[in-house]
A and B are shown apart, each in its own frame.
Chain A
Amino acid sequence: QSALTQPASVSGSFGQSITISCTGTSNDVGNYNLVSWYQQHPGKAPQLVIYEGNKRPSGVSDRFSGSKSGNTASLTISGLQAEDEADYYCCSFAVGSTWLFGGGTKLTVL
């Protein structure tokens, strides 16, 4: 049960776009359309921003979008805002009926 692979950090300027990758295997990301993304601000609980690869929960800005190709999922945030600065985690359903998280990516808005 190895964690999904995410970059440790990404940065982008206010108003620009960034993409965070999440690489798994054929036992998780590549085998299920059940990838989700969470935003976590310091000291707070994670909040769902993308589910089933590319769907947004009610109330989440359309600046957030998701995609998947093979064993890699991606989260794109467009029109970066100061409030987007947070940690982001991907998550996938995996063989064995488990959930697997990525190691997390710290987003800095410059």
Chain B
Amino acid sequence: EVQLVESGGGLVQPGGSLRLSCVGSGFIFSTYEMNWVRQAPGKGLEWISYITSSGSGIYYADSVKGRFTISRDNAKKSLFLQMDSLRVDDTAVYYCAREDSVIDHWGQGTLVTVSS
């Protein structure tokens, strides 16, 4: 069974930083592309970042470009999202999601709250 488990969310002040992690199991992590998708409270889904299986290709949504950094450690079956210069409107549940020509499996999400 494919499982994705996120961690690292919490309360942070505007301008602060946070690092999210996601551990995958039940599949060969190193062969899959991965994404981060977020959902603000009561709002819709927003794709924010993608990374190829090897980590050599990376894309970001304009809303986070220059502030967020996606990375992965295939040996540890882990995906990361370094979030810097956080803003109030970054408050959301952040989902780690596997891609196989389609975003097909999602973690349970981790809540990030940016507030003073």
Contacts and interface: CB of A to CB of B under 8 A. Distances in A.
Interface stretch (A9-17, A18-26, A72-80, A97-105): A97-105
Interface residues of B, number: 21
- Kindly state the interface size class of chain A when it binds its partner: 20 to 34
A51 B59 contact: no
B95 A99 contact: no
Contacts of A36: 102-103
Interface of B: 35, 37, 44-47, 50, 57, 59, 61-62, 95, 101-109
Interface of A: 1, 3, 34, 36, 38, 45-48, 51-52, 57, 89, 91, 96-104
Given A48-B103, A91-B103, 12 more contacts: A1-B62, A34-B101, A51-B101, A52-B101, A96-B59, A97-B50, A98-B47, A99-B37, A99-B47, A101-B44, A102-B44, A104-B45
